Chain A
Amino acid sequence: GAGVSQTPSNKVTEKGKYVELRCDPISGHTALYWYRQSLGQGPEFLIYFQGTGAADDSGLPNDRFFAVRPEGSVSTLKIQRTERGDSAVYLCASSLLPVGELFFGEGSRLTVL
């Protein structure tokens, strides 16, 4: 389909491991967002890209989290030395405009054992 695609849909890993989550936005959408959502909570802002650059990374919780979008399309969220508290659904969204409608992917559910 033409929607936002996220892979993997589910990832189980062990504490201390490295994880990459991928997001393929809607074609032509220049704005891309990463959120994470825990059960019973709203999506928590992590980072926002406008084109290739991270326009706002103020939501990244610490330096274990890093995201890239090298060609202004696909983005990868990278988590180093995972902790149990990183377990959540990681949502990616894209938008045609910086403050336009966000189109979300179905999310990547990360479980850290």
Chain B
Amino acid sequence: AQSVTQLDSHVSVSEGTPVLLRCNYSSSYSPSLFWYVQHPNKGLQLLLKYTSAATLVKGINGFEAEFKKSETSFHLTKPSAHMSDAAEYFCVVSHSGGGADGLTFGKGTHLIIQP
């Protein structure tokens, strides 16, 4: 069985300051891990993915995430927040070889950017 826990339901940061969204996972398999972003009334967009290559993954819009097997974590970071980053972020784990039924979505973290 696999699971994913997003440790914060809401994160508030000031524009220009760093962003940290935390995600822990558990998986019996070698997992693939993803971060998706959802802006209001929009679908989900892939930010980045980890598929057992480099542990530090760079994504779009300046986001990156580091896979730490020993800590079973896949935290999302960005050095400097922008107002356009305000959105819902989902950490997703997928076991190897699976289809959509093999996906487990986190509950989401709502990122608020203060001007």
State whether these chains interact: no
The interface of chain A, by Cβ under 8 A from chain B, is none
